Amino acid sequence: MKTFEHILEPSGEVLNLPLFEIDDPADLYKLHREEVYGAIIEGLDKMLASGLDRYPCFAVHEYVFELNRESALDNLNRCQAYYESIEEYETCSRLQKMKDLL
């Protein structure tokens, strides 16, 4: 998978975010659902561990998509619904532990 180099402010840490190159926004989840949910989980995990209120998770072309603490529970619930639908129960358990941290 291609990556997009992003500098995290204010630390200056360089992140290599997953990069999705799509023509139609509707194709993001249609073509890359598992990769997008994986990037969201990783971003939320790093956001919670760092104590930051916002954290980047992936890029589409040159646009960086960020997660924020306010919508973290909603994002975790959507990820959990997806992983339950494909019976990835270990990931569901990990997501539940992340919810408990909120």
pLDDT digits (tens, 9 = 90+) for 10-63: 889 999 999 999 999 889 999 999 999 999 999 999 999 999 999 999 999 989
The pLDDT value recorded for residue 10 is 85
Are 11 and 24 in contact, with CB atoms under 8 Å apart? no
The pLDDT value recorded for residue 25 is 87
Residue 99 has pLDDT above 90, yes or no: yes
Distance CA 79, CA 81 (A): 5
Residue 74 has pLDDT above 90, yes or no: yes
Distance CA 71, CA 24 (A): 24
What is the pTM (predicted TM-score) of this model? 0.93
The pLDDT value recorded for residue 102 is 87
